[in-house]
Chains A and B, each alone.
Chain A
Amino acid sequence: MSAVGGDRVTLPRVVAGEWIKLRSVRSNVVTLGAAAVVLVFFGAVFSLTADGEGVPRNPSGTLSDPVAISLGGADLAQLIVGVLGVLVAAGEYATGLIRTTFAAVGSRRTVLVGKVAAVGAAVAAVMAVATTVALVVGQALYAGDDPSVSLGDPNAARVIFGATAYLAGVAVIGVALGFVVRATAGAIGTLVGSLFILPNLLGLLPDGFADAVLPYFPSRAGASMMALAPGSDLLAVWPAFGVFTGWVVAALLAAMWLVSRRDA
């Protein structure tokens, strides 16, 4: 009956549609930009004011993680990109647009994957650039006495990759939470709670238990991923990648299961 073409719905097409939705709302663009600015700005400030005291050191006296200061803005940036992910998903439930989207695409899982891919790719692209800039600028401004890290350093690429992957992963977790909770405020609360509050609360428990469990929390695993050399209280780098990936996958599986089962 349809005379205007209209081919089948495919995942690339759904991703393209989600990308249009993402970039066509100015506040989304501003939010992503703000995350980048925050990352670079705070990294620069921390690096400029760092005097080498109070930061973790190796027994030999050198900084155990010179880049931690330059990427200090990531603590705030992760919150911003996580909220962006939540808004992309929960925002449609708030307006009821989600019903139009589901009815147009047919498969709800495709909608979920489409949003995840669009947001994840956008955040990864922007954060890769921002992380690189933060590292370069931060290390250039570093006021302490210890040697700094340059881009040519063997581990620099991995640090940039780790930070990018972590921040993109948090955004993806935000999307998944948006689909699970279906309300903006609740999803953001869950996001903030699991990234910040829960790990801090855990510090109240007996030392042995907290020390064993804490490194596996998503934000702590992320700290390992973007550290030059993770401290002894964190997981080693590649196990941390695995643990964080597990969190992202778990959030996505929960979202997929609920989205298919519940009424829209």
Chain B
Amino acid sequence: MIDVAHLSKRYGDTLAVDDLTFTVRPGVVTGFLGPNGSGKSTTMRVILGLDAPSDGTALVAGRRLAEHPAPLTVIGALLDARAVHGRRSAHDHLHALAVSNGLPRSRVGEVLDLVGLGEVARRAGGGLSLGMGQRLGIAAALLGDPGIVMLDEPVNGLDPEGIPWIRHLLQSLAREGRTVFVSSHLMSEMELMADHLVIIGRGRLIADLPARDLRAMASERTVAVRATEFHRLGEALRRDGVRIASTSSTDAEVTGLEAEEIGRIARDEGIALAALIPTQTTLEEIFMRLTADTIQYQGAPSIASEGATR
């Protein structure tokens, strides 16, 4: 279990993490989501004792990491797949880690086989592709057979077959009763993988809920409607449980009414519809909406979209 309580971390003038409180429980895969720069990596570094909190606490299995006699047997983490010496073999990299925690040398071969790097055990770190480097990092995290596994953006750089591989790995680790904490800035990856979601933005907690609850939010259907006399249609559509979000004088997104019903209402009022498009909100869009005002590093809109009428 990972317990984060009122955690804050300040770097100079920047408040990277702001009064964050959540618990990561065993037995489920917990996804840690947020836009780039939202404080995910900072939170993970504090959990590992690499950065000291400005306020609050972060405990693994009830204690600070440094208070555990053999940290690798409590929490295994992957923060950066490139954090290996370019000239040291994968085997020696893991061997040195194992020895420091009193783990048997046989463990090195076991985890290398588990992640599929058995054949390149003697290859130097610099000779590994990004995907292989990720696997090596995962191997290092699993070296001590820890109760908690924490991975920062593990899917980055994996081959297409690597992504379901890691999903199955993490799910089986969770089924074994371990605490699995995985961060990402892409909801599309998390959608299939996570049972529980902790969403942050600008260092603050935005949501902490089971994935199915988020999916329930997404199952609401929205209908895009365009009509030249939308102001009249809007009046007719207004009723309990219906949300209308106007994007221009002729366009709106209507939530709470089926497309067919909107069409009938328009016909009854004698209003011609230019467009009537039902859409299914994806988790991705829910995530975007939740974190929209917390995105810190946004690209300038492309020329193509600037002229669009929406």
6 contacts between A and B (CB under 8 A): A2-B146, A4-B104, A6-B145, A8-B69, A13-B100, A263-B52
Chain B interface residues (CB < 8 Å from chain A): 45, 48-52, 65-75, 77, 79-80, 82-89, 92, 95-104, 107, 140, 144-147, 177-178
B103 to chain A, nearest CB (A): 5
Partner of A6, one of B67, B70, B75: B70
**A2-B146, A264-B51 known; A16 vs B72 contact (CB < 8 Å):** no
Does A205 sit within 8 A of B, measured CB to CB? no
Which residues of A sit under 8 angstroms from B146, Cβ to Cβ?
Answer: 1-2
A-B contacts besides A9-B100, A17-B100, 16 pairs, CB < 8 Å: A1-B145, A1-B146, A2-B70, A4-B107, A4-B144, A7-B101, A10-B102, A20-B92, A20-B96, A21-B85, A24-B89, A24-B95, A96-B82, A99-B79, A104-B97, A263-B52
A14 to B71, CA, bound (A): 13
- Report, nearest first, the 6 A-B pairs whose CB atoms are least far apart: A1-B147, A7-B102, A8-B69, A17-B100, A24-B92, A96-B83
Pair A25/B65 contact, Cβ less than 8 Å: no
Point out the residue from B49, B80, B85, B102 that lies within 8 Å of A13, measured CB to CB.
Answer: B102
Closest to A106 in B: B66
Chain A residues within 8 Å of chain B by Cβ, number: 38
Q: What 1/0 flags go to A11-43 for Cβ under 8 Å of B?
A: 001101110110011110000000000000000
Which residues of A pack against B, CB within 8 Å?
1-10, 13-14, 16-18, 20-21, 24-27, 91-92, 95-97, 99-107, 114, 263-264
Q: Are A106 and B87 in contact (CB under 8 A)?
A: no
Which of B83, B86, B100, B145 touches A4 (beta carbons < 8 Å)?
B145
A9/B71 in contact, CB under 8 A: yes
Report the Cα distance A24→B145, complex, angstroms. Answer: 24
Question: Are A105 and B71 within 8 A (Cβ)?
Answer: yes
Asked whether A99 and B96 contact (CB < 8 A) given A4-B145, A104-B71, A106-B66, the answer is no
